[in-house]
């Protein structure tokens, strides 16, 4: 009986994730929510603007939705900005198996500190964190400061604004795919 309930609950979670990932947002909405998300990032992290200004480019995912009970998945839409201008749109997706329980919405910024790292990302078809490139995850909280002198990784990721409860923060196995809008 417990196993049937668990399978049914997983099916419902999977249906929710698929329906959210199937929703295609217009470019104007993605850009607007990316602007709002970046403003939140700047407000929460001292030095964020200087960090973004020194970057070759950055991905902004205003909302990434994640849910799981043993098996999980996450998805979201975002923009790639170079020189403060949107140049492409991307979808992030990941699946996972293991100890996890809950649901969460979070914001992500992936910063490419070098032109070489940005070029490798843009030239790939379905770039995967941990496979095609390593992402240094920076743990930040409200009021903390980042410093480009201390962060020397070519690709740096920030997760912030988490709403909900979910055990498991990682970029490993996350796939970023370019989409047209």
What pLDDT, in 10s, does the model give residues 24-46?
578 899 999 999 999 998 988 77
How confident is the model at residue 8, as a pLDDT? 45
What's the whole-number mean pLDDT along residues 71-93? 93
Distance CA 171, CA 29 (A): 25
- Rounded to 5 degrees, what are φ and ψ at 44? -85, -25
| pLDDT tens digit sequence for 48-75 | 888 899 999 999 999 999 888 878 888 9
pLDDT at 132 over 50: no
What's the whole-number mean pLDDT along residues 93-120? 87
Scanning the structure block, which residue is given the tokens 């009021």? 143
C-alpha neighbours within 13 Å on the C-beta side of residue 2? 0
In the chain, where the domains are located = 2-179
> Comparing 119 with 134, which gets the higher pLDDT?
119
pLDDT at 130 over 90: no
How confident is the model at residue 112, as a pLDDT? 93
pLDDT at 170 over 70: no
Confidence of residue 138 (pLDDT cuts 50, 70, 90): low
pTM above 0.85, yes or no: no
pLDDT at 78 over 70: yes
User: b/e per residue, 151-178, with b = 16+ CB within 10 A?
Assistant: eeebbbbbbbeeeeebeeeebeebbbee
> Comparing 158 with 90, which gets the higher pLDDT?
90
- Rounded to 5 degrees, what are φ and ψ at 19? -70, -40
How confident is the model at residue 145, as a pLDDT? 58
């Amino acid at each position: 009986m417990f196993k049937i309930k668990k399978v049914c609950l997983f099916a419902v979670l999977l249906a929710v994730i698929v329906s959210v990932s199937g929703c295609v947002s217009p470019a104007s909405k993605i850009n607007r929510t990316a602007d709002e998300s970046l403003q939140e990032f700047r407000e929460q992290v001292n030095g964020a603007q200087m960090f973004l200004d020194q970057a070759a480019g950055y991905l902004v995912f205003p909302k990434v939705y994640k849910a799981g009970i043993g098996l999980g998945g996450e998805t979201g839409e975002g923009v790639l900005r170079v020189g403060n201008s949107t140049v492409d749109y991307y979808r992030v997706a990941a699946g996972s198996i293991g100890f996890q329980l809950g649901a969460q919405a979070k914001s992500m910024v992936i910063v490419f500190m070098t032109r070489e790292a940005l070029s490798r990302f843009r030239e790939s078809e379905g770039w995967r964190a941990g496979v095609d490139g390593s992402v240094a995850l920076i743990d930040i909280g409200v009021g903390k400061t980042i410093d480009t002198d201390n962060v020397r990784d070519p690709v740096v990721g920030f997760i912030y604004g988490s709403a909900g409860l979910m055990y498991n923060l990682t970029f490993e196995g996350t796939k970023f795919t370019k989409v047209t809008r």
